[in-house]
Amino acid sequence: MSTSPQHTVRVGDNLDVLATLTEPFDLIYLDPPYNTGGRVVQAYTDRFDDWTGFMAPRLVHLPRLLTEAGIVIASIDDREVHHLRVLLDDLLGAHNHVGTIVWDGSTINANHLLSVSHDYLVIYAKDLAAIKATGTRWRQERPDASTMLEAADSAWRAGHGNADEAQKRFRAWLLPRRAVLPRGLTEYDRIDENGSLYRVSDPGAPSEQASRSFRPLQHPVTGRDCPVPKRGWRMNDASMDRMLEEGRIEFGPDHTTQPKLKRMLQDNATAVPRSVFRQEREGARHLARVEGAAAFPFPKDVDVLARWFDTVAADNARILDPFLGSGTTLEVAMALNAADGGERTVTGVVLDEGRIIEDVLRPRIRHCEQVYGEPVATSHEDRRTPTVVA
Ligand SMILES: C[S@@+](CC[C@H](N)C(=O)[O-])C[C@H]1O[C@@H](n2cnc3c(N)ncnc32)[C@H](O)[C@@H]1O
């Protein structure tokens, strides 16, 4: 019988709690205090030495707490990103920096010279070479792919299942959007007789190899052989037969045109994630809908974290969040588990300062437990005075 994943919240200064942890984690999410905006209990003057001095003794635990394929994702802003990079390069090795994601989430910045609208997600691996050696491929849904598929579906329904009519309608929808949608996507502008959105691609093999198919294809109307690409087809005979059977070869008007390959968008709706994305910040609005939860400065977005956690870690990942704050990471893991049946578990550390536990974290945990049915255990192990808060 399977039991619910057990999440744990440890109350205390993460400086103390991290030192007590021994189990390795598949994913460590860091959202340290930055851009403090004046909410400071003890002196924290935002100078390089202060911030790195605060972070260094905490981050020093990372290598020990990561599995061999472990990943660190850190949320950070423009003011501290370079400090964080120096610290993480030192601790995990610059060669293990996977990349830095720019999240343009719009801004509430009243600056007169430059309105900085983005944050970063800095990603490191414990051992990037080892991850690459396993052939791991990160995939994410291509932005806008679902919008395109939905538009094609509406065009198909409005065209009452007539492919020409549906294609005409879809292209009318696409025309004003061509300039803003990624080119790789707008190439998908044809609708076939099953209502599927597709593009055509070159069927020729990039290099000559004996295993490729060199068989001429017969035109379905004229019955005569169509031209074969110079270096043969991209696939072998068996794959070509399968593609013919699945209707994935598009013939021209007659046998004088070389047939093309059909690439369906629904089969290519994911891609290697890009390092820049735009998504309006939703964290505060989301938290405001949690019954009984007080406002919290800049909670992270469930959707954004869910997308990245899902990209970089398996569905049974053990996740550590040393700066749990309002508990977003707990909700992310539970929402992902609910969506894919996974068994992600979260260990979070929350500083017992102000009324954050009573006013924000507890109501949110209650809400998540009700919605997702996954229990959260809380343990108080350290009640010393906090050193720094956001
Ligand atoms: C940027 S916020 C994290 C927000 C969180 N990701 C969310 O979505 O709610 C940083 C959090 O770290 C907490 N914090 C600051 N110093 C800490 C410490 N020494 N140990 C544990 N948490 C700490 C702050 O109280 C604050 O809640």
Residues whose CB falls within 8 Å of the CB of residue 165, separated by 6 or more in sequence, listed in order:
158, 159
- Beta strands of 56-185 (E only): which ranges? 66-76, 97-104, 118-125, 140-141
Tell me what pLDDT residue 226 has: 97
In the predicted structure, residue 57 carries a pLDDT above the cut 90 = yes
Q: Is the pLDDT of residue 252 over 50?
A: yes
CA of 299 to the centre of ligand 1 (A): 10
Name the β-bridge partners of 377.
8
Q: What pLDDT does 387 receive?
A: 44
User: From the alpha carbon of 13, which atom of ligand 1 is closest?
Assistant: 20
Q: How far is the CA of 55 from the centre of ligand 1 (A)?
A: 12
pLDDT at residue 375, rounded to an integer:
94
Q: How far is the CA of 33 from the centre of ligand 1 (A)?
A: 6
Choice among 48-52, 72-76, 93-97, 167-171 with the minimum mean pLDDT? 48-52
Q: How confident is the model at residue 40 (pLDDT cuts 50, 70, 90)?
A: very low
**pLDDT at site 107:** 65
What average pLDDT is seen over the chain? 91
Residue ID of nearest Cα to ligand 1 atom 15: 389
Per-residue model confidence (pLDDT) at position 50: 86
Ligand 1 atom with minimal separation from the 349 CA: 21
**pLDDT greater than 80 at residue 111:** no
In contact, 374 and 346? CB cutoff 8 Å: no
Query: What residue segments make up the domains of the chain, in order of their start?
Result: 7-98+125-139+282-380, 145-270
What confidence tier does 39 reach under pLDDT thresholds 50, 70, 90? very low
- Mean pLDDT within 206-230: 93
Q: 325 CA to middle of ligand 1, Å? A: 4
Q: Looking at the CA of residue 360, tell me the nearest atom of ligand 1.
A: 9
User: CA separation (Å) from 78 to 2, 83, 95?
Assistant: 44, 10, 22
**Quick one: average pLDDT of 184-203?**
95
Q: How far does the centroid of ligand 1 lie from the alpha carbon of residue 347, in Å?
A: 14
Across 299-328, average pLDDT = 97
For ligand 1, atom 10, which residue shows the shortest CA distance?
33
Per-residue pLDDT reduced to its tens digit, 227-251: 999 999 999 999 999 999 999 999 9
**37: pLDDT strictly greater than 90:** no
Q: What is the pLDDT of residue 386?
A: 44
Q: What is the tens place of the pLDDT at every residue in 352-389? A: 888 999 999 999 999 999 999 999 999 876 555 444 43
Cα(349) to centroid(ligand 1), Å: 8
Longest distance between any two alpha carbons in the chain, whole Å: 85
Report the pocket of ligand 1 as residue ranges, CB < 6 Å. 13-15, 31, 33, 296, 299-300, 323, 325-326, 328, 349, 351, 386-390
Find out whether 376 and 5 touch, Cβ atoms under 8 Å. Answer: no
* Structural class in CATH, domain 7-98+125-139+282-380: alpha beta
Share of the chain above pLDDT 70, in %: 92
- The model's pLDDT over 283-296, given as tens digits with 9 standing for 90+, comes to 999 999 999 999 99
Which atom of ligand 1 lies closest to the CA of 389?
15
The side-by-side arrangement of strands in the sheet containing 197-201 is 190-191, 197-201, 260-264, 249-250
| Atom 1 of ligand 1, residue of closest alpha carbon | 33
Per-residue pLDDT at 22 exceeds 80? yes
Ligand 1 atom nearest to CA at 58: 19
